[in-house]
């Protein structure tokens, strides 16, 4: 049984998709920034969904006995769990930030 190497960590899509100028402001104004942020969030959620689907497929194959490498199924499930946990934490921080802004007095 051969064990494949761990893939190198790749940079987050949301970090690389935002273009910046030398002064640190976004290129193209607020409209382009909003669109790129929206796309970054959409892409990140799509990746989490793909990981969840892969984990479901591996779990189904594991249950039916079609998986030769049990460790691959477990790794896929852990990747999906970690991605979902991170997504939940980001969501919680966004909700906290929104609630803090709503508490501000104008």
Residue that has been written with the tokens 């609630």 in this structure: 99
Residue that has been written with the tokens 């199924």 in this structure: 73
* Mean local confidence (pLDDT), 80-101: 96
Spell out the residues 6+ positions from residue 106 whose beta carbon is closer than 8 angstroms to its own.
none
Structural domain includes residue 98: yes
Structural domain includes residue 1: no
Rounded Cα gap, residues 45 and 52, in angstroms: 11
For the chain, the domain total comes to 1
* Distance set, CA 80 to CA 12, 61, 102 (Å): 16, 16, 33
Q: What is the CB neighbour count within 10 angstroms for residue 61?
A: 15
Over residues 8-53, the pLDDT tens digits come to 545 444 444 444 444 455 555 666 676 788 899 999 999 999 999 9
Domain with 22 in it: 14-103
């Amino acid at each position: 049984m051969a064990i494949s190497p761990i893939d190198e960590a790749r940079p987050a899509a949301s970090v690389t998709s935002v273009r910046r100028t030398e002064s640190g402001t976004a290129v193209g104004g607020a409209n382009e920034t909003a669109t790129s942020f929206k796309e970054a969030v959409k892409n990140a959620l799509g990746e989490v969904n793909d990981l969840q689907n892969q984990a479901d497929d591996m779990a189904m194959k594991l249950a039916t006995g079609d998986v030769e490498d049990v460790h691959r199924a477990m790794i896929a499930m852990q990747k999906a769990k970690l991605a979902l946990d991170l997504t939940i934490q980001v969501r919680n921080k966004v909700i906290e930030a929104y609630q803090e802004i709503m508490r501000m007095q104008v």
